[in-house]
A and B are shown apart, each in its own frame.
Chain A
Amino acid sequence: MTIVVVMEQVPDVVEELAIAPSGTDLDRDAVSYVLNEYDDHALEEALLLAEASGDEVVAVGIDTTGELDQTLYTALAKGARRAIKLTGDFEGTWLSTRAAARLLVPVIQELGPRLVLTGVQAPDDLDGQLAPTLAALLGWPHASVVIGSELVDGVVQVRKELWGGITMTLELELPAVLGVQAARQAPRYVPISRVRQVMREASIETREVEAPDGLVPAVTTLRVPEQAGRAEILTGSPAEIADRIIELLRARGLL
């Protein structure tokens, strides 16, 4: 049986982000892309489930960056059996969640998995998160903010985090869709030599697909938030900064 993991590359928000002259997208030429960190957790959770159940993990991604191969080869090196890349006339665009889901549904239906896992959210999912969107289109039960799961007797038991450490445990009939916040353990590391080996031995299946309606999110304008500028910036050497911090704490009776 099959477990599908949907993986996506997203702009690295640690880097500086610039807005394109159009005002409705980032300046994609200046963006560096990384795997959505939650998708890495989704892959780990899928691999842990598959190791216990004997399922086959299939990594699926939509290539909006031209750089998805690295992500998919890494997934193969970590233990995914197959990797499928959807390509089309949307490279360099900001794909809406709804459009991504519409592209993914036919592939998922063809693969007939008993579980679909993906990251709980992405830095750019303006029109909602992928897991519940896929669940709605597929008509399958779902849960997001997942921090652990187990396949038991034809159901998946899911731990969903609410807040303040409160968790909800649900039993979902299969097939189901999970939006993963954190795998049960930190995503595994795979050495680059192993990824290179996989690149020689395995291949990514590529499917050309038609760009769907509602390709990009309906944004009027992007802008950089006005830094409230609240912080008074402490300047100087680390020693001078430390002195100032201690001064501030003493002045408030905190030391």
Chain B
Amino acid sequence: MTQRIAVLVEHLEGQPTDVTFELLGLARRIANTDGASVQAYLFGERVGHLAESLPADSVTVVEHSALHHLAPEPTARVLAALLPADLPRLLLVPNTSLGMDVAAWVAAALEWPLVAYCQALEHRGSRLVATAQLFGGKILADVTLDERPTVIAALAGAFAADAVNPGAPGKIERRDAPAELAALRTRSVVLERPEAADVDITRAEKIVAVGRGIESKDNLELAEQVAQALGAVLAASRPLVDAGWLPRSRQVGKSGLKVKPKLYFALGISGAPEHLEGMKDAELIIAVNKDPKAPIFGVADYGAVADLFEVSEALLERLEG
């Protein structure tokens, strides 16, 4: 039997998400080298029509009302029911809010190895090596995979979608919902969109973004002044939003918003991978941080290893002067 590289299709409100195509691209590259085929797992309620848009050799479709929004328990239980018989070489799952709940659960339930936060997966000789981003992006871990089926939780934005083969799948196979879905302990699942925010940071041309380095809520005023002087809007990394200093509508990053402004001016942001995911495509990134090893300097065009307060004061003197 041909080995298979399987991908869990993530979708939201009837559309596959970008990371799905990135994982299908990755699966295709691995499969081409190994002479394997690409299998997509498409779960949901009335999502069968999406199968036509997936560049995979085969699409396995399971439709059930409990799978509507790909909630953690039902999605994980269906995968865990199918995988022992399907036995793919790899199962690729996005390391997103939806995917992390499924990848770790399935791997633990089946006692399969799992590499989370995966940013690279490639052949080295005859072995596959997965590279994970750990410790806030400061350390990479290379993991040489053994022969066992392995779950890979792959970071969004780390892999290229497959531009060569956007074609329709070869085979679409519908399967009955496994019996496990009859005994779920997850009841209702509802999606909510955010209320309209005061500012839409995804449309801003210039963003001043603050991170933990700002130290206290009182210091936000200084950052706000810099933003106003530059004609920019103020955004923040996750810890400030979790602390309640700024609303969620101002959060840049994996669990927040993706932005692509002309200017991203980062003050006191170290650049955790989750943050970089949301802003690395900005046209011009300038970062001020005290730590010369802060990962933000890896994506910034210009950096200053300096005290953000002193630089901000100096900027204000000049711009407002």
Contacts and interface: CB of A to CB of B under 8 A. Distances in A.
B97 A97 contact: no
B318 A164 contact: no
Given A132-B108, A140-B185, A231 B297 contact: yes
B140 A225 contact: yes
B318 A246 contact: yes
B6 interface: no
A239 B316 CA distance: 10
Contacts, number: 279
Nearest to B217: A186
B186 A223 contact: no
A37 B212 CA distance: 13
B301 A126 contact: no
Interface residues of A, number: 84
Nearest to B109: A136
Contacts of B303: 231-234
A147 to B, nearest CB: 8
Contacts of A255: 230-231, 319
Interface stretch (A49-57, A85-93, A165-173): A165-173
A124 B136 CA distance: 9
Interface string B5-40: 000000010000000000000000000000000000
B104 A128 contact: yes
Contact of B105 (A142, A181, A221, A223): A142
Contacts of B179: none
Contact of B319 (A165, A172, A241, A246): A246
A221 B300 CA distance: 27
B314 A142 contact: no
Given A142-B72, A165-B249, A254-B263, A219 B254 contact: no
B233 to A, nearest CB: 14
A171 B186 contact: yes
Nearest to A246: B318
Contacts of B12: 162, 166
B115 A126 contact: yes
A18 B264 CA distance: 30
Nearest to B119: A225
B199 interface: no
A163 to B, nearest CB: 6
B255 A145 contact: yes
A215 to B, nearest CB: 14
B313 interface: yes
A169 B248 contact: no
A26 interface: yes
A155 B287 CA distance: 45
A143 B98 CA distance: 9
A222 interface: yes
Interface string A215-250: 001111111110111111111001101111110110
Interface stretch (B55-63, B83-91, B141-149, B170-178): B141-149
Most B-side CB within 10 Å, residue of A160, A163, A246, A249 = A163
Contacts of A248: 284, 286, 302
Interface in A141-161: 141-145, 155, 160-161
A114 interface: no
Interface residues of B, number: 97
Nearest to B315: A242
B222 interface: no
A186 B262 CA distance: 33
Contact of A127 (B116, B284, B318): B116
Contacts of A244: 302
Contacts of B244: 185-186
A232 B301 contact: yes
B298 A225 contact: yes
A67 B200 CA distance: 44
A228 B31 CA distance: 29
A224 B293 CA distance: 11
A141 B73 contact: yes
B190 interface: yes
A115 interface: no
Contact of B189 (A121, A169, A217, A254): A169
B91 to A, nearest CB: 12
A217 B313 CA distance: 46
B192 A41 contact: no
Interface string B65-76: 000010111001
Contacts of A225: 133, 137-140, 295, 298
A165 to B, nearest CB: 3
A132 B307 CA distance: 40
B156 to A, nearest CB: 9
A167 B314 contact: no
12 contacts: A19-B139, A26-B135, A126-B116, A129-B100, A129-B104, A133-B107, A135-B105, A141-B73, A162-B96, A166-B193, A230-B301, A232-B302
Interface of A: 11, 13-14, 16-17, 19, 26, 37, 41, 97-98, 101, 121, 123-129, 131-133, 135-137, 140-145, 155, 160-173, 176, 179, 181-182, 185-186, 217-225, 227-235, 238-239, 241-246, 248-249, 252, 254-255
